[in-house]
Amino acid sequence: MSETASKSINIFICLIGLILLCFGASLALAGPTGEEVMLKLDQRDEGQDQVSRSLQILINRRGQERKRSSIYIKKNYKGQDGFDTKTVIFILSPPQVKGTAFMNWSYLQDDKDDDQWLYLPALRKVRRLSASEKEDSFMGTDFTYDDMGDRKVEEDLHKLLRSETLDGKECYVVESVPKKKGYMYSKKETWVVRDEWIPLRVEYYDRKKRHLKTLTYGGWKELKGVWVVGRMEMANHQTKHRTVLTMSDTEVNAGVDENTFRERTLKKGLRKSYFKKR
Amino acid sequence: MIKIINLFLDFPKLTIAALLLLTMFFGFQLKNLRFETDTNANLPQNDPAFIYNDLVEDIFNSKDVFIVSIFEKGPEGIFDPQTLALVERLTERIKEVDGVIEKDVMSLSTIKNIVGTTAGFRVGRFMKTVPETPGEIRELKEALYENDTYIGSILSADGQATSIFAKMEEDRGKWSGVYYDIKKLLSLEPAGGRKFYVAGMPVLEVTFGIYMQQSMEKMFPLVILVIVLMLYGVFRGLRGVLLPLFIVIGADIWAMGIMAMCGVPMYVFSTIMPIILMAIGIADGIHVLEKYYQLVGGGLVTDRRSIVKETFAEMWSPVVMTSLTTAAGFTSLVSNQMLAIRAFGLFTAVGVIAAMIFSLTLLPATLAMLKAKGPKRVKNDSLGKSRALDRGFFGFALTRLGKIMYTQRGKVLAALAVVFAFCLYGLTLLTSEGSWMETLQEESEVRTADRALNSKFDGTVRLNVVFEGVKQYDMQSPEVLKAMAELQKDLARDETVGGSISLADFIQRMNQVMNEGRRKFRVVPDSQELIAQYLFLYSMSGEPGDFDEYVDYDYRLANVIFFLKTDHSRATARVVDRVNGFFSRHKELKGLKINMAGAGFLTLAWVESLVRGQLWSIVSSLVAVFLITSLMFRSWAAGLINGVSIAGAMLINFGLLSLAGQPLEVSAAISSGIIIGIGVDYTIHFIYRYRLAVAQNNDSSQATMTTMITSGRAITFNALVVIAGFMVLFASDFTPSVTMGVHVAIGMFVCFLMAMTFLPAILNTFKPRFIFS
């Protein structure tokens, strides 16, 4: 190849590169829409299942704490048989509620309520709970069921506010306003890490548009290509009550058995070996 | 001293100008005088009961509440869509009022029910949305009566009234703002057939200040009028009226000006200071003028300067003595636990000293400039000379009394001894009583609201019984919860207790709904695990803060709230005794500690500590009287006679009070300091004059008569003016002021009687050496 030819090819490549760069830059400048960010967040790969030791600390305004430790097992069905996820929680301590177990089945179908079961050892009976309200507190914490991820993306109108760095990570800040009136939050702002599509912070505003709660995520780790969270803290600014959830010994794609999510398991508890394995 | 007074006499214009300048200076300070409405100043600062109460308020977020009640007489009571919508609307608006803690507003639209489900139970608001159809309303009504936890507090048993409870932020300065904001909200609502009431202890505290100021504005002109009339009645001359009046007004300006300079605000309680100061500051002027008129009428001295000189030669000493003892009486209030009372005592003492300064400067200066002229009663007396003094009604009566005190002295003392013994017996029956609610008049808005609420609800006054366990989760123990429930039942037998609420109520309700809602399962279950798991189940649908008011976060402390129908300390004392009795019977709860708090308990603690404190200050005032008068007359016997005669007056005072079946109230206890302070004036004046008379002719019979018609006359006039001045307090809208007026008026009368009977009788009987040397 002649020198001029190769030169002109080089120039051509440079030009193309430049055009692509400009295009890319303009794309990046325009960025995704708020809704796209929230969909990416929602559809992030969470693996097939997840097993963690979870410590729940409730802290009141005087700094007093209530601690509860449990085993947390979740399986993602991704629409298989209509299921979205199945979750079980086995409480290990404090001793008075040891052996208490809670199970939740959630469905992909929009209008289908979750099914929930609770086993209280003192009553020796597994009881089916009536569907919780989305606005109900999740097991007496500062989280509501919606805060735990039950809220559907299409229920809100999303707007990308800006990009900014949080904890050294480039984040999109998305504002979400409910489409229907009367929801417990008038507005929610979410910080989503670009590319990884994991949340770092959510700010909640009450019906009167006053700052209500802040949810902070921390300790993100990538396991087998799946991002898992290590710590979630929800602080209610109005009641000055806080909930800290920490997840440790987390495993993903551990091959959780289908039979774990049965009423029988709630009552019998997990076999000792189940814990030993992890 | 007399030389200094003569100086004022020599330079009258300069003296008056200086006084005027000083008074203008203090008057100018008045613009800095601040009115303090924070009612904390009315509470004892370091009382353990109050410190513990703050702790309880902090731990359980348990505070006194503003109560807004809606009364609806209709056949359906409050169960119609409009009223229920109104409850919801008002609840939301009250939440937005500045000073109200939003999440701590409680009403029909916020309270939660525990309902049985296939899963056990779940927690949800009784009224998620305002019911509109008759069916929905019936459902709400049935739910509220089935789970009767809130019957008596939020909803009346007959369904004709409902209440909204609003908790206040710590800052008491915002409370009156909250009160007016709520009143405004209510005024915007169409009342229709409804009635609105705003009640609760915070309302009482807020309106308290308003009532007190209003009644002061009414009484100030009244006390001036009374003093003018009394002075005219006694002296019948312009100078006899104007000079003492200038003295007390000047003393008021000085006292308040100095208070402003010290940066001390006018507390609700100290608003009676100017009035009281007027009634007592008049004393020195009366004694001095009485002596002056006696000299003018006596006709022995005619030169006006000599008359004034002689007046003060005799009077300066008793004037200084009596002012000091009166000031000491008020200063004894400085030991009081209430900041407002301390300020009142201190600055009234300052005012008394100011009145003394005026009496020793303004009087000699003006009298020296005015032509010596007596009042009509002296001038018109053709016989002239000193004989005029035993004429007229007072002259006649005092002469007779003097005779009796000399000839019948033994019988008088014996009679008094019987009275003392009788009163001493009465004293042993004395009980204390106090109530914030009763500080306001029967028809006042607050008490009307309180009565209305007490007729429909459990009660507006709270008494908290705090269970203190040793370790975490102690309050989940079945024994403790059962004791709680039993205590609630036991106390409900007292008529003062309208209702109560505790963690046990909620546990019992949970147990009931877990057992198909059967009534017999409304008990505390026997297993601690079960109780813990009920609470866990509750947390599945409840909120983390739902039980904050009843149990602390560790389940180590629990708060049982009792609603009392009254805040009278005697009624509360009875309930407190019942609580203590309950725990001494239940030995199985030994590890548990019990403490009490809440407005009801605080009123009790407040009354007891104030009354106890006041009794101590009576004792210390008596000791002060003994020491000061011993020093003045340079004789222990003199101190003893003064002290005993005042102590006797106090004994009669409290003894009669008790024999009349009246309890000792806070304002009565406080008036004792005032009575001692003024009462000792009489004994000092009397003894001083008596000693002079004895020194002149060494005849106790003659001395008694002379003292009676001279000093006795001044004492009588003084007593009349002071009693009339304090009677002005009867016109107050504020019950403690009225009580204080009654007590001081009676107390002064007793002191007067003691000075005119006990004193001459005892002096004539024992002929103490400091007089008959």
What is the rounded distance in angstroms from the CA atom of residue A257 to the CA atom of residue A215? Answer: 32
Q: How confident is the model at residue A7 (pLDDT cuts 50, 70, 90)?
A: low
Taking CA atoms, B323 is separated from B464, B637, B643, in Å, by 47, 21, 16
Please compute the mean of the pLDDT values over residues B4-20 and round it to a whole number. Answer: 88
Contact indicator for B748, B280 with CB cutoff of 8 Å: no
Contacts of B540 in chain A (CB under 8 A): 102, 118, 129, 132, 136, 139-140
For chain A, positions 7-46, list CB contacts with chain B under 8 A. Answer: none
Q: How far apart are CA B129 and CA A185, in angstroms?
A: 17
Chain A closest-CA separation from residue B538 CA (Å): 8
Q: Edge to edge, what strands does the sheet with B461-468 contain?
A: B497-501, B557-564, B461-468, B593-597
Determine whether the interchain pair B59/A62 forms a contact, defined as Cβ–Cβ distance below 8 Å: yes
Mapping DSSP onto H, E and C, the string for B232-276 reads HHHHCCHHHHHHHHHHHHHHHHHHHHHHHHCCCCEECHHHHHHHH
CA distance B530 to A241: 26
**Averaged confidence pLDDT in chain A:** 85
Whether B455 has a pLDDT exceeding 80, the answer reads yes
- Two tokens, residue B276: 């009281």
Contact B540 A140 (CB under 8 A): yes
CA-wise closest residue to A126 among A277, A275, A269, A270: A269
Q: Which one-letter DSSP state was computed for residue B754?
A: H
Place of tokens 């803290």: A233
Q: For the full predicted model, state whether its pTM sits above 0.80.
A: yes
Chain B CB contacts of A213 under 8 Å are none
Mutate: best of B170, B529, B531, B535, partner A, most A CBs <10 A: B529
Mean pLDDT, chain B, rounded, equals 87
Tell me the three state secondary structure of residue A128.
Answer: strand
Residues of A with Cβ-Cβ distance to B476 under 8 angstroms: 96
pLDDT of residue B383: 38
Average pLDDT of the segment spanning B359-384: 71
Q: What is residue A48's DSSP assignment?
A: S
Cα separation of B339 and B334, whole Å?
9
Per-residue exposure over B114-143, b if at least 16 CB sit within 10 Å of its own CB, e if not = bbeeebbbbbbebbeebbeeeeebeebbee
DSSP state, residue B3: H
The percentage of chain A sitting over the pLDDT mark of 70, rounded to a whole number, equals 85
Q: How far is B145 from chain A (nearest CA, A)?
A: 24
Give CA–CA dist B451/B449, Å, rounded.
5
* Nearest-10 Cα torsion for B158, B161, B167, B171: -130
Identify the residue among A58, A128, A137 best suited for mutation to test binding to B, counting B beta carbons within 10 A and taking the highest: A137
> Does A181 contact B at CB distance below 8 Å?
no
Q: In the structure, what pLDDT confidence band is assigned to residue A1 with cuts at 50, 70 and 90? A: very low
Q: Is A97 on the interface with B (CB under 8 A)?
A: yes
Write out chain B residues lying below 8 Å of A238, CB-based: 102-103
Closest chain B CA to residue A122: B530
Tokens of B736: 């403690």
- Model pLDDT, residue A17: 62
Per-residue confidence band for B218, with pLDDT thresholds at 50, 70 and 90: confident
DSSP conformational letter for B664: B
Q: DSSP string spanning A31-45?
A: ---HHHHHHHHHH--
User: Which strands sit side by side in the sheet containing B100-106, from one edge to the other?
Assistant: B100-106, B161-168, B65-72, B194-199
Question: Residue holding tokens 């600014």?
Answer: A237
| pLDDT of B43 over the 80 cut | no
Question: Alpha-carbon distance B362 to B95, whole Å?
Answer: 60
Q: How many cross-chain Cβ pairs, A to B, lie less than 8 Å apart?
A: 91
Q: Please, which residues bridge with residue B474 across strands?
A: none
CA dist B355 and B554 (Å) reads: 61
> Is B553 in contact with A123 (Cβ distance < 8 A)?
no
What distance in Å separates the CA atoms of residue A241 and residue A212, rounded to the nearest whole number?
11
Q: How far is A89 from chain B (nearest CA, A)?
A: 13
Q: Using alpha carbons only, what angle is made at residue B251 by residues B249 and B254, rounded to the nearest 5 degrees?
A: 110
Place of tokens 């008026």: B745
pLDDT confidence band for B180 (50 / 70 / 90): very high
Mean of the pLDDT values across residues B751-766?
A: 93
Q: B48 to chain A, minimum CA–CA distance in Å?
A: 22
Mean pLDDT of A22-46: 75
Q: How far B512 CA lies from chain A's nearest CA (Å)?
A: 14
A227: pLDDT strictly greater than 80: yes
Nearest to A238 among B96, B103, B120 (CB): B103
Q: Supply the DSSP symbol for A80.
A: G
Distance CA(A204)–CA(A213), nearest Å, equals 5
Report how far apart, in Å, the C-alpha atoms of B33 and of each of B219, B261, B352, B354, B642 are: 20, 8, 19, 18, 38
Closest CA of chain A from B533, distance in Å: 6
**Contact flag B553-A65 (C-beta cutoff 8 Å):** yes
Which residues of chain A from 105 to 124 reach within 8 Å of chain B, CB to CB? 116, 118, 120-123
A64–B528 C-beta distance less than 8 A: no
CB B751 within 8 A of CB B675: yes
Give B97's contacts in chain A (Cβ within 8 Å).
Answer: none
CA-based nearest distance A134→chain B, Å: 11
Mark B147-173 as b/e (b = at least 16 C-beta within 10 Å): bebbbbbbbbeebbbbbbbbbbeeebe
Inter-chain contact A100–B533, Cβ cutoff 8 Å?
yes
Task: In whole angstroms, give the CA distance from residue B657 to residue B664.
Answer: 8
Q: What token pair was written down for B68? A: 């807004």
Percentage above 90 pLDDT, chain A? 44
Mutate to test the interface with A, among B100, B527, B553, B557 (most CBs of A within 10 A): B553
Rounded CA separation A55/A70 (Å)? 6
Each residue's pLDDT tens digit, A47-95: 899 999 999 999 988 888 989 999 999 999 888 888 989 999 999 989 8
Q: Which residues pair with A244 in a beta bridge?
A: A57, A233
When pLDDT is cut at 50, 70 and 90, the band that residue B2 belongs to is: confident
- Per-residue pLDDT band for B417 (boundaries 50, 70, 90) equals very high
Please report which confidence band the pLDDT of residue B381 belongs to, taking 50, 70 and 90 as the band edges.
very low
B537·A128 Cβ contact <8 A: no
Residue among A14, A29, A72, A76 at smallest CA distance from A49: A76
Question: CB–CB of A58 and B544 under 8 A?
Answer: yes
Residue A23: pLDDT band with limits 50, 70, 90: low
Helix B700-709 vs helix B392-407: crossing angle, to nearest 10: 150
How close does chain A come to B548, measured CA to CA in Å? 10
Q: What's the confidence (pLDDT) of residue A14? A: 62
Per-residue HEC secondary structure of B106-119 comes to ECCCCCEEEEEECC
Contact (CB<8Å) A96/B473? yes
Q: Are A243 and A141 in contact (CB under 8 A)?
A: yes
SS3 B279: helix
Residue A170 forms beta bridges with which residues?
A: A165
Q: What percent of chain B has pLDDT over 90?
A: 43
Tell me the shortest Cα–Cα distance from B102 to chain A, in angstroms: 9
B34 pLDDT above the threshold of 90: no
Q: Which residues of A touch B115 (CB under 8 A)?
A: none
Res. B421: pLDDT tops 60: yes
Residue whose entry in the numeric block shows the structure tokens 């932020």: B169
Considering only CB atoms, B118 lies closest to which of A97, A127, A136, namely: A127
d(CA B100, CA B122): 29
CB-CB under 8 Å, B532 with A96? yes
B473, closest residue in chain A (CA to CA): A96
Gap between the Cα atoms of B451 and B444, Å rounded: 11
Q: Contact A24/A148 with Cβ under 8 angstroms?
A: no
* Residue whose structure tokens are 């006709």: B299
* Ranges B226-230, B254-258, B737-741, most confident: B254-258
Rounded Cα distance between A198 and A192, Å, is: 6
The Cα–Cα gap between B28 and B31 comes to 6
Per-residue pLDDT, B384: 40
Alpha helix (H) ranges present in B262-383? Answer: 273-298, 304-331, 339-369, 376-379
Cβ-based neighbours of B160, under 8 Å, separated by 6 or more: B71, B72, B73, B77, B78, B456
pLDDT of residue B287: 87
* pLDDT, tens digit, 9 for 90 and up, residues B288-299: 998 888 888 776
Cis peptide leading into residue A94 (ω within 30°): yes
The pLDDT tens digits of the residues spanning B603-655 come to 888 888 878 777 888 888 889 889 988 988 899 999 999 999 999 999 999 99
Does residue B387 register a pLDDT over 50? Answer: no
Q: Closest approach of chain B CAs to the CA of A224, in angstroms?
A: 33
Over residues B322-333, the pLDDT tens digits come to 898 888 888 888
- B532-547 pLDDT tens trace: 999 988 888 788 788 8
What single letter denotes the amino acid at residue B381?
D
pLDDT of residue B700: 87
Q: Are B599 and B201 in contact (CB under 8 A)?
A: yes
Asked if the Cβ–Cβ distance from A96 to B533 is below 8 Å, we say: yes
- The per-residue pLDDT for B545 is 80
Q: Which two tokens stand for residue A208?
A: 């009167």
A139 inside 8 A of chain B by CB: yes
Share of chain B above pLDDT 70, in %: 96
CA distance A101 to B125: 26
Q: Which of A116, A140, A241 lies closest to B542 in CB terms?
A: A140
Give the pLDDT band (50/70/90) at residue B596: very high
What does the pLDDT look like over B131-179, one tens digit per residue?
Answer: 989 999 999 999 999 988 899 999 999 999 999 999 988 777 788 889 9
Please say if the pLDDT value at position B50 is more than 90: no
Which of A62, A128, A132 has its CB closest to that of B118? Answer: A128
- Give yes or no for A2 touching B (CB within 8 A): no
| CB within 8 Å of A208: residues ≥ 6 apart | A186, B96
Give alpha helix (H) positions in B457-598.
478-491, 503-514, 528-541, 569-585
Residues of chain B that touch chain A, judged by Cβ-Cβ distance less than 8 Å: 58-59, 96, 102-103, 117-120, 122, 473, 476, 514, 527-533, 536-545, 548, 552-554
A125 CA: distance to closest CA in chain B (Å): 10
Our measurement of the distance from residue B654's CA atom to the centroid of its chain's CA atoms, rounded to an integer in Å, reads 17
Cβ contact, residue pair B533, A123, below 8 Å: yes
Tens digit of each residue's pLDDT (9 = 90 or more) over A114-173: 888 889 898 888 888 776 667 778 888 899 888 887 788 888 999 999 999 998 899 999
> Closest Cα of chain B to A66: distance in Å?
7
Find chain A residues with C-beta within 8 A of B122's C-beta. 129-130
| Cα distance between residue A245 and residue A233, in whole Å | 6
> What's the CA gap between B199 and B190, in Å, rounded?
20
Q: Give me the phi and psi of A216, to 5 degrees please.
A: -120, 130
Higher pLDDT, residue B612 or B480: B480
A149: enclosing H helix or E strand: none
CA angle B632, B636, B640 (to 5 degrees): 100
Per-residue pLDDT band at B334 (split at 50, 70, 90):
confident
Q: Answer whether residue B84 shows pLDDT above 90.
A: yes
- Residues in chain A with CB shorter than 8 Å from the CB of B59 are 62
Note the pLDDT of residue A274.
55
Q: CA B502, CA B114: separation in Å to the nearest integer?
A: 15
User: Which residues of chain B have a CB within 8 Å of the CB of A102?
Assistant: 540
The full DSSP string for chain A is --HHHHHHHHHHHHHHHHHHHHHHHHHHHH---HHHHHHHHHH----SEEEEEEEEEEE-TTS-EEEEEEEEEEEE-TTGGGEEEEEEEEEEESGGGTT-EEEEEEESSTTPPPEEEEEETTTTEEEEEPPPPTTSBSTTSS-BTIIIIIS-GGGEEEEEEEEEEETTEEEEEEEEEESSTT-SEEEEEEEEETTT--EEEEEEEETTS-EEEEEEEE--EEETTEEE-SEEEEEETTT--EEEEEEEEEEES----GGGSSHHHHHH---HHHHHH-
pLDDT at residue B270, rounded to an integer: 80
Does A62 contact B at CB distance below 8 Å? Answer: yes
